């Protein structure tokens, strides 16, 4: 996808889609600026305690929800376990996913990051000695940082086809498995150590 934010083209000459992308990118930049004024808390306090990862993630989402409210921005909230926690922020089409990690890896679960999803990642650095806590603001394409978009998409397609074949084998062998249940599921995660 073209990075429209770096083009120096007058608004009147851009397509409506490109204008919407620019509007969402500009809003994400404003959210990033506002965050540093709005949130004065200690990010390290969001670290996971006693395995309660969902509680810590909910706290991070709450901070973002409060900030968006403080900015007067509307959004549609995703249901629990759905991707894109805040959808169509400010009626710009901006989708934001909030993540929290104590390490150099952010778990994305079922959602493969792409350029249409913007991430606010609370990095507590609780499990990393040489890093300090921070908050990252990036889109999915920046997070993946693949050397070639086409090759990335081809690889993802091959993986999806392989997963489908495995699911078909499990279904065909169901009678032989007795009470054993097998699930094939791609879990996405992203190494983020280079970004902070």
Q: Tell me if the pTM is above 0.85.
A: no
pLDDT tens for 36-55 read: 899 988 898 888 888 777 88
pLDDT tens for 86-96 read: 999 999 999 99
Domain assignment of residue 55, yes or no: yes
Domain assignment of residue 177, yes or no: no
Which pLDDT belongs to residue 9? 55
Domain assignment of residue 19, yes or no: yes
Nearest to 143 by CA among 110, 178, 104: 104
Range of the domain at 36: 4-145+189-195
Bridge partners, residue 76, by sequence:
87
Tally of CB atoms within 10 A around 137: 17
Using 50, 70 and 90 to split pLDDT, how confident is the model at 5?
Answer: very low
Using 50, 70 and 90 to split pLDDT, how confident is the model at 6?
Answer: very low
Tokens representing 95 are 């989708």
Question: Which residues touch 3 (CB under 8 Å, ≥6 apart)?
Answer: none
Nearest to 39 by CA among 127, 120, 128, 125: 120
Domain assignment of residue 165, yes or no: no
Domains of the chain: total? 1
Domain assignment of residue 123, yes or no: yes
Domain assignment of residue 154, yes or no: no
Q: Are 48 and 60 in contact (CB under 8 A)?
A: no
Tokens representing 161 are 């086809």
Distance CA 34, CA 119 (A): 15
Which pLDDT belongs to residue 48? 86
Nearest to 161 by CA among 142, 184, 177, 187: 184
Domain assignment of residue 178, yes or no: no
Element (H, E) at 68: helix 53-70
């Amino acid at each position: 996808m073209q990075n429209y934010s770096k083009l120096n083209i007058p608004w009147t000459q851009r397509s409506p889609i490109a204008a919407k992308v620019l509007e969402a990118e500009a809003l994400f930049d404003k959210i990033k600026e506002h965050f540093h004024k709005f949130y004065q808390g200690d990010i390290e306090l969001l670290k996971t305690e006693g395995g309660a990862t969902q509680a810590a993630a909910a706290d991070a989402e709450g901070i973002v929800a409060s900030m968006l409210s403080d900015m007067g921005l509307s959004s549609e909230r995703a249901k629990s376990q759905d991707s894109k926690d805040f959808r169509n922020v400010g009626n710009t089409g901006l989708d934001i996913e909030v993540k929290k990690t104590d390490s150099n890896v952010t778990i994305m679960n079922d959602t493969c990051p792409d350029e249409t999803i913007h991430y606010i990642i609370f990095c507590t650095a609780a499990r990393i000695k040489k890093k300090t806590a921070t908050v990252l603001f990036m889109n999915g394409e920046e997070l993946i940082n693949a050397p070639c978009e086409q090759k990335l998409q081809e690889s993802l397609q091959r993986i999806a086809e392989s997963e489908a074949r495995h699911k078909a084998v499990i279904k065909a062998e169901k009678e032989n498995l007795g009470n054993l249940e097998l699930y094939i599921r791609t879990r996405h995660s992203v190494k983020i150590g280079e970004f902070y």
